[in-house]
Every structure is written in structure tokens, then in C-alpha cells.
Amino acid sequence: MTDKPKGGQQARRAAVLCENPRFGLYLDYRRRQKGNLNIEHLPDGTHSPEDCADWLRGVCGVASRAEIDHNDDARGMLDRIVADYSNWERGQRQRGGA
């Protein structure tokens, strides 16, 4: 028997987010901004769903997305990530971008 926590709604939410190709584009954009890189150095499509999941687990401080359902700090970070991503998407639509 194992003591691994079961994932629930937040783990599913994180999984769906990481599988969204648009979220990968958001991470590409974010990394370019933070690293002062241009699109030639870090083209769109660089972040795969697995890269997104690795990044999300690291930022949330968990080894598994299932832990997000059992960790208030991780759940709060996921909320912030979703809010930041949603704001980016709104900005993209307003600019007529990707």
C-alpha cells in the first residue's frame, strides 16, 4: 500500500492546463520576457505538455500534480498561474494575437 495522495479537481485542472497548446505558448512568451530573449532564440511551440507539467510542478513545489489537491500553497499557486494565463489570453485576443 502506498501513501501517495489521490488527485482530485485541482490535479485535473492542472493536467488540462498543461495539455492546452495555448498554455505552452504562454510559457514560451513568459520565458522570452523573463530571459530577454527574442522569438528566434525561443520559438513558439518550445514548451511541450510534459515541459508544462514539469514547470507547473516545480513552481507549485510538488512532485506530483495530485499533491495540489492536498497542499494549500500549491493550490494557491495554481490559482495564480491560471489567473496570469487567463490575463495573457485576454491580452492576446484584444491585440488580435495568436
| Confidence class for position 50, pLDDT limits 50, 70, 90 | very high
Q: What is the DSSP-derived secondary structure letter of residue 12?
A: H
State the pTM of this model: 0.86
Mean pLDDT, to the nearest integer, of 28-51? 92
Inter-residue contact 63 to 57 (CB < 8 Å) = yes
For 53-97, the pLDDT digits (tens) are: 999 999 999 999 999 999 999 999 999 999 999 999 999 988 886
- Three cell numbers, residue 31: 520565458
